[in-house]
Homo-oligomer: A and B are copies of this chain.
Amino acid sequence: MLKDKKEPTKISDLGEFALIEYLTKNIKLKNKSSKYGVGDDAAIIKTSKTQVVTTDILTEGIHFDFTYTPAKHLGYKSAVVNFSDVYAMNAMPKQMLVSIAVSSKISLELINDFYEGLYLACNRYGVDLIGGDTSSSLTGMTISITVIGEADAKDIVYRNGAKETDVICVTGDLGGAYMGLQLLEREKQVFEEVGAQPDFSGKDYILERFLKPEARQDIIELLKEIGVKPTSMIDISDGLASEMHHICKQSNVGCKIYIGKIPIDYVTAEVANNFKLEPLITALNGGEDYELLFTISVKDFEKIKDYKQIKVIGHIMDKDQGLNLITEDDNFIELKANGWNNMD
């Protein structure tokens, strides 16, 4: 259908119903609980499990910039960031609904690439696209995604269960996505000013952290396998500091986090230095890493300590002791919640 066209195809040439049919015609539902997908007033789900439901809205110019974001990556990331919220409840994502509002400048080819990214993520994480909506907008593109996941009620982990002496864990490494974004923004500016093509050699890791993040399904599966249920959990979308504040506020506790134990990749640190930024600050306040921050009971420490993808970074303390960073020479610094706030 898209072959032999040199000009981008206008969506208005198709109309809404034909567009939906074109974008969804190859869907095959994979999950037992997905009973009926696209094609009626609503989709149908039946499960004996407890469900978790999360939703995100993403707008062009605020959350993404097509000058350096391929539409396929954007589709992949839009799906994955919602799966990440489901994993943060210790649940498995099963169904997704996707709505897009697009202006006349957005071509059918771009939307097609965006959906390819969505389907790639759905296949990778075992999720069914069961519904959505398409609409026009006066300017740019807005994406809204809702994801429904499943778990046994007893397995669900909230933000509010952290207890004094619990061990604070974080997965992967932090600050990479933020430095990837800084790099892309700088090269965009250079390109606009002097027309120079960017040189990203050696920086693939942080670019991929920003453009095509993964959600930590592997960690949720690992914790289940080794019989560890976190006492609290959250995914790191706004930065470690902000997420730690959420856990402490909702659990009514304090914490201490050892600066020396916060995981930062070599490339992240190198690029941060290059930008005259303190790597620690990018790890604390940079967002969009989609790693998991969770607390476990001290008695579970032995079970997790040998897995290199999980780093122990501190302990939960009494509320009165506040939220603290511990320096290499054992000084306490207040941990402030300077997250990455897209409302700013």
Could you tell me the distance between the alpha carbons of A153 and B14 in the complex, rounded to whole angstroms?
Answer: 35
Find residues 85-106 in chain A having any chain B CB closer than 8 Å to their own CB: 85-86, 88-89, 91, 95, 97, 99-101
B54→A42 contact, CB < 8 A: yes
A250→B344 contact, CB < 8 A: no
Q: Is A9 an interface residue (CB 8 A)?
A: no
CB distance from A131 to the nearest CB of B (A): 6
Q: Is A29 an interface residue (CB 8 A)?
A: no
Checking B56, B149, B233 against A99 with a beta-carbon cut-off of 8 angstroms, the contacting residue is: B56
Q: Is A139 an interface residue (CB 8 A)?
A: yes
A41 with B57, Cβ < 8 A, contacts A135-B62, A136-B62, A137-B142 known: no
CB distance from A329 to the nearest CB of B (A): 33
Q: Is A51 an interface residue (CB 8 A)?
A: yes
Q: Is A55 an interface residue (CB 8 A)?
A: yes
B99→A135 contact, CB < 8 A: no
- How many A residues touch the partner, as a band? 35 or more
Could you tell me the distance between the alpha carbons of A61 and B130 in the complex, rounded to whole angstroms?
Answer: 28
A343→B15 contact, CB < 8 A: yes
CB distance from A154 to the nearest CB of B (A): 12
Q: Is A156 an interface residue (CB 8 A)?
A: yes
Which residue of A14, A91, A138, A153 has the most chain B CB atoms within 10 A of its CB atom?
A: A138
Could you tell me the distance between the alpha carbons of A132 and B85 in the complex, rounded to whole angstroms?
Answer: 12
Checking B11, B44, B97, B138 against A51 with a beta-carbon cut-off of 8 angstroms, the contacting residue is: B44
Q: Is A73 an interface residue (CB 8 A)?
A: no
Binary flags per residue of A236-251, CB closer than 8 Å to B gives 1, else 0: 0000000000000010
Q: Is A189 an interface residue (CB 8 A)?
A: no
B41→A85 contact, CB < 8 A: yes
Checking B44, B60, B149, B158 against A40 with a beta-carbon cut-off of 8 angstroms, the contacting residue is: B158
Could you tell me the distance between the alpha carbons of A91 and B57 in the complex, rounded to whole angstroms?
Answer: 27
Checking B16, B88, B235 against A341 with a beta-carbon cut-off of 8 angstroms, the contacting residue is: B16
Binary flags per residue of A42-84, CB closer than 8 Å to B gives 1, else 0: 1111101011111111111111000000000000000000000
Q: Is A134 an interface residue (CB 8 A)?
A: yes
Q: Is A229 an interface residue (CB 8 A)?
A: no
Contacts of A17 in B (CB 8 A): 341
Could you tell me the distance between the alpha carbons of A133 and B56 in the complex, rounded to whole angstroms?
Answer: 6
Find residues 155-169 in chain A having any chain B CB closer than 8 Å to their own CB: 156, 158-160
A57 with B133, Cβ < 8 A, contacts A52-B42, A139-B138, A146-B97 known: yes
The 3 tightest CB contacts between A and B, nearest first, are A144-B144, A16-B343, A57-B99
A sample of 6 inter-chain contacts (CB < 8 A) reads A16-B343, A19-B343, A41-B159, A57-B142, A59-B136, A62-B138
